[in-house]
Structure 1
Amino acid sequence: MFATPAYAQAAGGAAGALTSFVPLILIFGIMYFLLIRPQQKKLKEHKAMVEALRRGDQVLTQGGIIGKVSKVGDDGIIEVDIAEGVKVRIMRSTIVQVMSKTEPAV
């Protein structure tokens, strides 16, 4: 009689199952610190920048438009002057960068 591979293997038990998950846990930890955590930090900084927008700030949009904020709405829409007499309404989330900030009135 020949022994089947299932009978020929040694019993691994709980220690064998735990050691097979260690590399998986290690990979997840590395992915968290290299990819997920920095992305969350960047998202938090962008949200703070967008919340701090006020009238007079010069901004850059995702579409490449540079303009000056003329009106900040509570509904997530801001109005940007891109030229003399030309105003564009855009979503706050489309602001990529604040080029120059205005000082708050005292």
Structure 2
Amino acid sequence: MDLILAQEAGGSGLLSLLPFLIILLLFVPLFLNGRKQRKQMQETQAMQQALEDGDVVVTTSGLRGTIVDASYEDTIDLEIAEGVVTTWLRAAIREKVNADEAAEETTEAEPESESKSESENKPTIH
């Protein structure tokens, strides 16, 4: 009989720890995710502070431009089209585009415009 009481007491000890184990299992992923998010935020802020003139960047709204003036602490001037310069907060810069990617997209865009002009000159048969 004492054996049965001892087993019941041991079993209830594990059951009393169950809520703490569940809470622990829920908070471990949250903690690890928070660390990952903090690391990404620090990397983004470091990138935003290291921006220089001539860098091609993409803003949080998806606008792509070239940095014309990065001498201010909180803002930068972006040239979004030839002769069109706008001022943005550094925090609005989402990513810096590599020079290789920018050159590839420029060369890919040129043949498309040539093919459009050739197709415009062809007569349409109905």
TM-score by length of 2: 0.60
Match of 2:19 in 1: 20
Unmatched runs of 5 consecutive residues or more in structure 1? 1-9, 102-106
Match of 2:114 in 1: none
Structure 1 segment 80-91 matched on structure 2, within 5 A: 80-91=78-89
**1:79, 1:30 → 2: CA distance?**
40
Of 46, 49, 68, 1:48 maps to 46
Aligned residues: 88
Query: How far 1:22 sits from its partner (Å)?
Result: 2.7
**1:60, 1:88 → 2: CA distance?**
13
Of 83, 92, 95, 2:93 maps to 95
Structure ranking higher in strand proportion: 1
**2:63, 2:18 → 1: CA distance?**
54
Q: Which runs of 4+ in 1 moved over 3 A?
A: 15-20
Equivalent residue letter for 1:20: P
Match of 1:4 in 2: none
**Rg comparison, structure with higher value:** 2
- CA distance change for structure 1 residues 17 and 60 in 2, over 3 Å: closer, same or farther? same
Q: Alignment RMSD, CA only?
A: 2.2
Identity within the alignment, %: 32
**1:30, 1:81 → 2: CA distance?**
42
Unmatched runs of 5 consecutive residues or more in structure 2? 1-8, 100-126
Moved more, 22-31 or 84-93: 22-31
Q: Deviations over 1:26-83 (max 9, x none)?
A: 31112212x2122112111111111110111011111221111011111x11001111
**2:44, 2:16 → 1: CA distance?**
42
